Amino acid sequence: MTARVQADNNRGVRTLFLSFLLAAGAAAQPATDLEAVVSTDLGTFRFEFAPDVAPRHVEHFIKLAREGYYDGGAFHRVVAWGIIQGGDPLLKDPKTPRNLWGSGGLNQLAPEFSAMKHERGVVSTVSIPGKADSDGAQFFVCVQPQPALDGKFSAFGRVTEGMDVVEKISQSPVDSSGLAEKPVRILKVTIEKKKVQPFLNAPVDELRKTVTMRTTLGTIKIKMEPDWAPEHVRNFLMLTATGWYNGTAFHRIVKGFVVQGGMSNTRAGGATHPADRWVHPLKAEFRNDVKHVRGIVSMARGDDPDSATTSFFLMLGDAPHLDGKYTAFGRVTEGLEVLDAFEKEEVDGETPKRRLEIIEAKIDQ
C-alpha cells in the first residue's frame, strides 16, 4: 500500500511538473508568434499583435485573455462601418445597467502612443478622454480608417482574419447613445500560435509540384515551374493549399488567346477567405526565354509590372507579345481538351454567359 501511495505521489509530481513546463513554454512564446482568436455569437475573427509599438498593452491583453477575463463579455458600442468596442467586464453580467456600460476595466495602463495608424482592422485600446493612464482592458477595432484617433489611443494589433465578422458586428442596431440594443456576446478569447503561410520558406525543390484543378468543364493538371518564377509558384501553391481558389470563377475568355480566373470578387457572395491575409502584390519575374504558347499558365496583372496577386490565365493559343511582359509559372500537362471546351463556350464580349467555376484546386501528393 505504501509503495502504491508513493507511486501515485510521484505521478502527481510529474504531472504538475509537466503542466508547469507546458505553461512556461506557452508564456515564453514571443508575442509576434501569437494571435488572439475572438469568438462571438456573430462569428470569429483573429488579430495579430504589435509588440514593437505597444509591448505593455500586448502583454496585458495576452495575460487577461489567458485568464478568461474577456470570456462572456460583449461588444457593447458600435459605429456602423466605423468601430466596434468591447472588453468591459461589467458586461458579463446581463443585468448591468446600460448607463454603466463601458465604465469597467479602465485605469490599468499608461498609454503607448505610436506612429501606428488607426487603419482598417487595427485593434486599439479604450481610454478616458483627458484622463492620464486610463488605458485598460477595453479595446476597439477599426472597421474603416480613423485618422482622428492616430496618436491619441494605443494601437496594439491588427485583424488578420474575419473582417467580415467585424463589419457585421458594427452593423448591430444601436440606441441614440451608440450603445448596442443587444450587445454582441464575446463567447471566448483565446491566444493561439499565429498561422504560418504555407510554402513561405520552402526551398525551390519543394515547389516542384503539380496542381489538379477541377473545373465546371473538366479537370486539368498544372505543373509548377519554380525555375521560371519561384515567388509566383510559391504564391500559387499557397492559394491552392489553403483552398483560396475553390469557388472562384473564370471571368474572362478570349478565344484563341486566354481564359482568365482566380479573382476574389468572383467568389459567391463576395466572401472573404482566411488566406486573404497572405495575398499581396508580387514582384515581376519576367523571362524572355519562356514563351506564352498554348497550355502555359501565367499571372495576370495591372499596368504596374509588380501588381499580380491571385488572378491567372491559361493560354489558349500562342501570344509572343506577352513574352517578357507577364510572368509564366506553370504549364498544363493533362486536360488540354478542357481548354478546347473553354473555346466553345458562349461569351458576351469576353464574359462567359454562364458561370464557369474552379470547383476545387489541390496539390497532388
DSSP assignments along 41-110, one per residue = TTEEEEEEE-TTT-HHHHHHHHHHHHTTTTTT-EEEEEETTTEEEE--GGGGSTTS-GGGTT-SS-S-B-
Of 14-28, 57-71, 130-144, minimum mean pLDDT range: 14-28
pLDDT of residue 269: 81
Distances (CA, A) of 214 to 77, 240, 248, 350, 351: 45, 12, 12, 22, 20
Are residues 57 and 160 both part of a single domain? yes
- Cβ distance 290 to 281 under 8 Å? no
Largest CA distance in the chain: 88
Cβ-based neighbour number of residue 288 at 10 Å:
8
Mean pLDDT, rounded, of the chain: 93
Grid cell of 146 as nine digits: 480613423
Question: CB–CB of 300/312 below 8 Å?
Answer: yes
Is residue 1 included in any domain, yes or no?
Answer: no
Q: Looking at residue 9, what is its pLDDT?
A: 52
193-205 per-position pLDDT tens digit: 999 999 999 999 9
Ranges 10-19, 202-211, 348-357: which has the least confidence: 10-19
Note whether residue 122 is domain-resident: yes
The whole-number pLDDT of residue 1 equals 41
Task: Indicate if the pLDDT at residue 8 is higher than 60.
Answer: no
Band of pLDDT at residue 271, cut at 50, 70 and 90: confident
Cβ(204)–Cβ(226) under 8 Å?
A: yes
Number of separate domains in the chain = 2
In a domain, 243, yes or no: yes
Q: Cα–chain-centroid distance for residue 186?
A: 20
Same structural domain for residues 44 and 186?
A: yes
Residues 213 and 338 both lie in one domain: yes
- Round to whole Å and give the CA distance between 65 and 157: 14
How many angstroms separate the CA atoms of 36 and 46, rounded? Answer: 6
Q: Per residue in 81-108, pLDDT tens?
A: 999 999 999 999 999 999 999 999 999 9
Question: How confident is the model over 118-131, as a mean pLDDT?
Answer: 96
pTM of the model: 0.78
317 and 224, same structural domain?
Answer: yes
Residue 76, domain extent: 26-193
What confidence tier does 11 reach under pLDDT thresholds 50, 70, 90? low
CA-closest candidate to residue 280, choices 304, 299, 308: 308
Q: What is the pLDDT of residue 268?
A: 84
For residue 358, pLDDT beyond 70: yes
CB-CB contact of 363 with 198 (8 Å): no
Secondary structure letter of residue 178 according to DSSP: S
Q: What is the pLDDT of residues 158-208, one digit of tens each?
A: 999 999 999 999 999 999 999 999 999 999 999 999 999 999 999 999 999
Phi, psi (degrees; rounded to nearest 5) at 205? -60, -30
Evaluate whether residue 19 is within a structural domain.
no
Q: Which residues of 15-47 are buried (b: 16+ CB within 10 A; e: fewer)?
A: eeeeeeeeeeeeeeeebeebbbbbbbebeebbb
pLDDT band per the 50, 70, 90 thresholds, residue 301: very high
Q: Is the pLDDT of residue 6 over 90?
A: no
| 313 band by pLDDT with thresholds 50, 70 and 90 | very high
Indicate whether 335 belongs to any domain. Answer: yes
Which one of 173, 193, 213 terminates a domain?
193
pLDDT for residue 117 is more than 60: yes
Q: What is the pLDDT of residue 19?
A: 45
Q: Are residues 74 and 53 in the same domain?
A: yes
**Are 89 and 229 members of one domain?**
no
CATH code of the domain containing 173: 2.40.100.10
% of the chain residues with pLDDT over 70? 92
On whether both 220 and 182 belong to a single domain, the answer is no
Residues 34 and 168 in one domain: yes
